[in-house]
Structure 1
């Protein structure tokens, strides 16, 4: 069983003066939700997610040794980085990156030796109400691991990806599920081999063809800032009256998904996925202080999906993140009918009629 100390390097065999890497990392959508965490971004319960394909962050990391250039008279004892978002300096992102570097320095002891230029962009609109912290932190972690692998070429591929997921988690918990694809488990689950609280792992068991190339159409109900940050939301689970039962339920639902993924039982899949989405929001409605993150149009969409599924027997379902937007999930072989239903009945509930078509993807890619 790996511990955090296994990710602390002893020494590096190479010297690298400067260079750059570029990675893309996707967002992901949890089927069993992680809500509530312990110290150091350890989840209070395990989760499982589909890795997405189209909604991703593309990050280029350029680096130069501080002492190798006269223009870099930066403090040798501090982190030095410039941050560009879609080509423009983005000062309000910097504190989050600073905090991330502080958290991971023990695992990447070379960080203060370089000046970094982080140039990042999303393939989806920044204000679209899609959480970009998972894809953003995963893309940054991949780049930093590429630099560490250049310093230590003997590193194995398995270690590279485990550590990348481990580091991404320290930036944003769900980011650890954006490193690999297509179905990722994060959190210790006794009957899932290799599962860990420290990093995400690809689901190791059989997955029926029904779930291959699953589709996710994201309906943008509300593109505004989140009412409550994920960090605050997770913290509200500490004294939550229903927390312990919820954590047990997540283990039970993840256990049930093992056989569902093997058998291809779409009806059982739908029950768990929709129940998990509603449970996540129930936890927020029953915390203190309490929040309702759904909007009236979120409920209109949910009811329309239930009605459509009842009338057509087409296995389409919804899930939600900690916000108002709706992820419509369905197998590839019913895409045409579901997309027609979305255009005919659901687009009117989206802000400015906006929605994004996505599907299961394979994780981070070196560009």
Structure 2
């Protein structure tokens, strides 16, 4: 075994993110077919603690989620670690135990793979610094964590940064890359800097078709090339809206992207839909409210039925009143989660 530090423990907290331009379809080794842009959340986070020691006989990796064994996710992480030998040459020399917990409920329409895989990637980068006695620059550290997170879950690459984040090469943003995400917040207009996200719970049931399967169905999708062209156009327009503070264009593109994503599911082969009747009711009510009140509130969805309602913090009181009076009857047990733009991951103390 190489002369590394013998053992240690690390903890990282990393946020989920909500994409405004959707990543749907991949190529090569977890590379996106189109660029995306997202906002990292503040309260919806995964906390992961990684403990390492010299490898012994038996399983190399042990994983617990909220104190319980999760066989499927452990298998996914084992596969993920198997793809990291080029990035962390020391991995095969160590036995690793990971314990994770979420601050948000499972199946809440919040991207748990993004927060989970990014928190684990950050732990691995810290582990590398510890055992090899090196110190990466801040830029090197987070760029490597983003690249590594991408190999576990594409959208996880964006959760390594706070605020507004892009992922995927585009002529519209010279710093953009397919390999890792790039922070975009410093270019964003002040109106977006305190943006709120109310997650409206239509259903907490596990979705019938996973995102991994959805990405695979894009490979032979009849509208794939048109979708990727649309996403590139939307990406350029969205960056322009974020820079200028153009809320009207922001909402228009964000909602179109959400409906395009679900349209792709509905006309894939085999076809499927993750939307519920109440999802449609909520979308109509949000659009009617926006027209009647002139309040810049808009929606997006991940790959599920639950709606993310986005709005400036200055409109919080009015929007909360709208949710409670008009939308709550269409929510599962009237439930919604209030979140907002966050500052990104942070290293945390050990339990």
TM superposition score category, shorter chain reference: over 0.9
Q: Does 1:313 align with 2:294?
A: yes
Query: Structure 1: which 4+ aligned runs deviate by more than 3 Å?
Result: none
- Is the Cα contact below 8 Å between 2:109 and 2:199 reproduced in 1? no
- Higher alpha-carbon deviation: 139-148 or 124-133: 124-133
Residues 1:91 and 2:80 are matched in the alignment: no
- Number of residues of Structure 1 aligned to a counterpart in Structure 2: 346
The SS at the match of 2:187 is: coil
Give distance in 1, aligned partners of 2:48 and 2:41.
17
Pairing partner for 1:354 from 327, 335, 345: 335
2:34 to 37, 40, 45: 45
Match of 2:114 among 89, 111, 134: 134
Q: C-alpha displacement at 1:205, in angstroms?
A: 5.7
In the TM superposition, residue 88 of structure 1 has moved relative to its aligned partner by: 2.1
Distance (whole Å) between structure 2 residues aligned to residue 152 and residue 254 of structure 1 = 40
Q: 1:256 aligns to what?
A: 237
For residues 114-137 of structure 1, give each alpha carbon's deviation from its aligned partner in whole angstroms, at most 9, with x where no partner exists: 111101000011243433111000
Aligned equivalent of 1:197? 178
**1:33 is aligned to 2:33:** no
Pairwise CA distance, 1:39: 2.0
Distance in 2 of aligned mates of 1:234 and 1:91: 23
Q: C-alpha offsets along residues 226-284 of structure 1, whole Å, 9 cap, x if unaligned?
A: 11111110111112111111101111111112221122111111111001101111111
1 CA distance for matches of 2:135 and 2:122?
A: 17
Quote the residue 2:320 is aligned against: 339
**1:176 aligns to 2:176 (yes or no):** no
1:65 counterpart (51, 54, 64): 54
**What SS does structure 1 have at the residue aligned with 2:83?**
helix
The range that moved more, 123-132 or 261-270, is 123-132
Structure 2 gaps, min length 5: none
Q: Distance in 2 between matches of 1:53 and 1:204?
A: 14
8 Å contact kept, 1:220–1:355: yes
Q: In angstroms, what is the RMSD of aligned CA positions?
A: 1.4
User: Normalised by the size of structure 1, how large is the TM-score?
Assistant: 0.91
Match of 2:84 among 64, 86, 104: 104
CA 1:204–1:363 in structure 2 vs 1: closer, same or farther (change >3 Å)?
A: closer
Q: Distance in 2 between matches of 1:313 and 1:275?
A: 19
Match of 1:122 in 2: 102
2:7 matched to which residue of 1? 18
Structure 1 unmatched ranges of 5 or more: 1-11, 67-72
Distance in 2 (CA, whole Å) between partners of 1:314 and 1:65 is 58
Q: For residue 93 of structure 1, report the CA deviation from its aligned partner.
A: 1.9
2:189, 2:344 → 1: CA distance?
Answer: 20
CA pair 112-144 structure 1, distance change in 2 beyond 3 A: same
